[in-house]
Amino acid sequence: MKILSYAPSVSVVVAMTRAGETSYKDLSDDVVQCTVNRKTDGASTFTVKLQNVNWKYNGFFMPMDRISISCVKVDSRKLFTGYITDTPQFTAYSGDVTISGSCPIYRLQQLYWDASLVKSAKLMGMLHGAETWDEVLVNLLTKVGGIPADSIFIGDMPQEAMDAARELYQANLDSSEQLQSMVNDFYEVLRTHGPVISSSSSTSTSSTDSSFSASGVGGGALFGNIDFDMSESEFVKEWGTRIDNWYRTKWAGSPLEGHGETYARAAYRVRFDPRFLPAVSGAEQSGGLVESGLNGNYYGWAVYDSGIGSLAYSANGIDAWIYYLMSDEALFAGQPLYTCSWDLIASSWASSSAWADRVAGFMSEI
């Protein structure tokens, strides 16, 4: 089979704003070499080498001049738009000059970002978060980067990818538990609603838990296969260590690290999943790194009303809050938390369905 290959020409146009006036310069005739590096997981970059006859480009460009690069044969295909970030101001000889730069993500990379701020956590979907990752991205691009919303386009995950993942799992159901975990992790990373992959149901649709199957029955090990047959001391040692390790590795510096045994002991006594409250602290308060203003209340409990949860334990510390929420005193939807089903909690604790996804994802990490 014969294959015809050819190299298209390159069109490079720069927009320069000086003293409030914008002008455009076509650099195409002087391009000696052009490289565009398109990345899917970071800022794309470019490098353009230009003939600098008679020093025509000395002092010509400024950082943050806008640039557009296209390949041209019969039609023009745009390859890159972004900013010049590196350009020489002076050369002693009139040889070639090189300019380089980055796509618009560069603007976000250069902005100051304080992850500990409540506003930052909200933008990242950590406090009653955005519905999906695309909403988080749009919030960051518009509210932080100042990019107009009508210039942002985020495509959907192809249905074919979801179908392929499900088919892979179903074909290997009996031989690969790792594949089952991989497919569920795939959904969790996307923060999307998809079929829950589990040994009991491989095609059901869920908007809550994409990594383990909730029983939906009050009492006992509600959300996962928790072994309550071991002794309390064994249970507290195992789960206390796992919870503390999770805080240490995911939320370094969290005031909740070191309280793993309290979580485990309180959960064991009422036969409740010990991962739940730590996971809620991740969804509500970035694992305790974002202060709620109520000492020890890292769970968003009764923050917006005058219930007992907002006042009674505000001065009693972290351990008091854990025991309080696992007691008969703290009523959720009219009943103790440890008797509630996952469905009830997931639909009532926060208004956003993404909250349940985040809590479920954090639980699967512990």
- Match 């994409």 to its residue by tokens: 210
- Helix, strand, or coil here: 225? coil
> HSE of 256 in the Cβ direction (CA atoms, 13 Å)?
32
Cα–Cα distance for residue pair 272/222, rounded to 1 Å:
7
Q: If DSSP codes are grouped into helix, strand and coil, which group holds residue 188?
A: helix
Torsion angle in degrees (nearest 10) through CA of 303, 307, 310, 312: -170
Estimate the crossing angle of helix 260-270 against helix 276-285, to 10 degrees.
130
Question: Which residues, in sequence order, are CB contacts of 362 under 8 Å at separation 6+?
Answer: 275, 278, 279, 282, 283
pLDDT for 205:
33
Say if residues 360 and 212 touch (Cβ distance below 8 Å).
yes
More confident residue, 225 or 110: 110
Tell me the C-alpha distance between 193 and 196, whole Å: 9
Percentage of residues in the chain having pLDDT higher than 70: 70
Q: How many CB atoms lie within 10 A of CB 3?
A: 4
Question: 125: pLDDT confidence band, cut at 50, 70 and 90?
Answer: low
Element (H, E) at 101: strand 97-102
Closest CA to 232 of 276, 265, 256, 275: 265
Q: Which residues pair with 11 in a beta bridge?
A: 70
Q: In the prediction, which pLDDT does 242 show?
A: 93
Average pLDDT over residues 160-186: 61
Cα–chain-centroid distance for residue 156? 16
The pTM of this model reads 0.43
Reported as type and span, the H/E element at residue 26 is strand 21-26
Asked which of 4-18, 49-63, 146-160, 266-280 is least confident by mean pLDDT, the reply is: 146-160
pLDDT band of residue 310 (cuts 50, 70, 90) is: very low
Dihedral Cα 213, 346, 361, 132, nearest 10 deg: 120
Residue 14: which of 56, 63, 55 has the closest Cα? 63
Helix (H), strand (E) at residue 360: helix 353-365
